[in-house]
Amino acid sequence: MSSRIREQLLSLLLHNTDSFISGEEISRRLQCSRAAVWKQIEELRKEGYQIEARPKKGYRLVHRPDRVAPEELKPHLSTRRFGRRILYRQSLPSTQPLAHDWARQGAEEGALIITEEQTQGRGRMGRVWHSPPHSGIWMSLILRPPVPLAQAPQLTLLASVGLTRALRRETGLDIQIKWPNDLLIGRKKFCGILTETRGEQDRVQYVVLGTGINVNVSGTHWPDELKDTATSLMIEGKRSYRRADLIAAILKELEELYDGYLSHGFEPIRILWEEYAGMLGRNVRTLTPRGPVEGTAVGLDGSGALLLRQGEEVIPVFSADIDY
């Protein structure tokens, strides 16, 4: 009850920042008591919202903290499904296991698990992914694509495209995709995508699409090796970004691409992907589970494998540690 009131209250305040809105007006529109309004104003202030109160005039939102709580996200969402159900925590070991649990219990497609901080964030192959509080986007999205299990890896590529397009538009930065699941600015990584799939026989039951995006990470505490390979939107853009705005843009872009994927398949995604992949035409060295493979990156095949040209041959490469 109180979270509904809080979401609606914040939405009202967010849409009325130019003028004051009276406690009576708020109470009428939210269909709750003045006391309830006052209580939620206080709760919001505790969360860092600066709300000016003037006698006879009412309330006005002066400053919003950068939070990813549902009341911050929902006013900006223009999606039909993605982000309509949100599970939010201040801190989690990691969003992925919770997303799996929720998916197994039947959470619908588009359900989002998001946290301010991960204490045990993980990338591919169990590698550590640092997820400090209030400075990045650490979230997992539940998808239920009615496709064969073999096509599940295409969701990673779709997500790479969606995140790239949304963040390019929002930040103006030159974001590029590095196969299989990284986003770079320059040659440094600021975002990773992790796709975990559950299948029955040859069908997908669900996909948990996880992403970690360094937004306002300053990197000052990073060890030198990390400073050579990692970055953030703030470092590259020399400003901070409001994460809720980025998330709304990301979810909108992902939902559009995903609906297109379900209708038209992977080919349109593949074409977009090749546009944003900075590695095409370059020599790449990969260390695959089958051993080292080297060649010129020439594109993706229909299933999402990276194609490397070695002389006359073109070889598909699956998940690998790639180096170029």
* Residue 189 annotated as binding site: yes
Residues 6+ apart with CB under 8 A from 4: none
Structure tokens at 67: 């939070």
Measured between alpha carbons, how far is 161 from 271 in angstroms, rounded to an integer?
Answer: 10
Q: Which is nearer to a second copy, 153 or 162 (CB)?
A: 153
Rounded Cα gap, residues 225 and 293, in angstroms: 25
**Chain-centroid distance, C-alpha 292:** 32
User: Is residue 212 a contact point for a second copy (CB under 8 A)?
Assistant: no
Measured CA to CA, the distance from residue 252 to residue 256 in angstroms comes to 6
Q: Which stretch binds a second copy (CB under 8 A): 31-39, 111-119, 135-143, 297-305?
A: 297-305
> What is the distance between the alpha carbons of residues 142 and 101, in angstroms, rounded to a whole number?
11
Residues contacting a second copy: total by CB under 8 A: 28
Tell me: does residue 94 bind a second copy (CB under 8 A): no
Q: Of residues 184, 194, 251, 257, which one binds a second copy by CB under 8 A?
A: 194
Q: Does position 298 bind a second copy by CB under 8 A? A: no
List 48, 133, 148, 186, residue binding a second copy (CB under 8 A): 148
Distance of CA 291 to the CA centre of its chain: 32
* Residue 123, annotated as binding a ligand: yes
Question: What part of residues 232-291 is at the interface with a second copy (CB under 8 A)?
Answer: 289
Tell me the CB-side half-sphere exposure of residue 274, using CA atoms within 13 A: 17
Please state the closest distance from residue 28 (CB atom) to a second copy, in A.
48
Q: Would you count residue 140 as binding a second copy (CB under 8 A)?
A: no
| 29/203 with CB nearer a second copy | 203
- For the bound state, the minimum distance from the C-beta of residue 97 to a second copy, rounded and expressed in Å, comes to 9
Burial of 143 (0-12, 13-18, 19+ CB in 10 A): buried
Minimal CA–CA distance to 101: which of 193, 195, 206, 204? 206
Question: Binding site annotation covers 176?
Answer: no
- The Cα 175–Cα 161 span in angstroms is 10
Q: Is 311 annotated as a binding residue?
A: no
Q: Report the nearest approach of a second copy to the CB of residue 305 (Å).
A: 8
Binding residue (CB under 8 A) for a second copy from 14, 51, 98, 149: 149
Q: Residues near 99 by Cβ (< 8 Å), separated by ≥ 6? A: 111, 113, 140, 141, 142, 208, 210
| Residue among 101 and 267 whose Cβ is closer to a second copy | 101
Residues 141 and 209: beta-carbon distance below 8 Å? yes
H or E element at residue 117: strand 112-118
Strands 50-54 and 58-63: antiparallel
Q: How far is the CB of 241 from a second copy (least distance, A)?
A: 28
- Select from 95, 195, 231, 232 the one that contacts a second copy (CB under 8 A): 195
Q: Interface with a second copy includes 295 (CB under 8 A)?
A: no
Contact 180, 319 (CB under 8 A): yes
Chosen residue from 51, 173, 226, 305 binding a second copy by CB under 8 A:
305
Residue 192, annotated as binding a ligand: no
Contacts of a second copy in 154-173 (CB under 8 A): 156
| Identified binder of a second copy from the candidate list 150, 262, 271, 287, rule CB under 8 A | 150
Task: Specify whether the CB–CB gap between 140 and 112 falls below 8 A.
Answer: yes
Question: Based on CB atoms, which residue is closest to a second copy, 97 or 278?
Answer: 97
Return binding residues: 118, 122-124, 189
Return binding residues for biotin: 118, 122-124, 189
Q: Which residues bind a second copy (CB under 8 A)?
A: 124-125, 146, 148-150, 152-153, 156, 180-181, 194-203, 205, 289, 303-305, 318-319
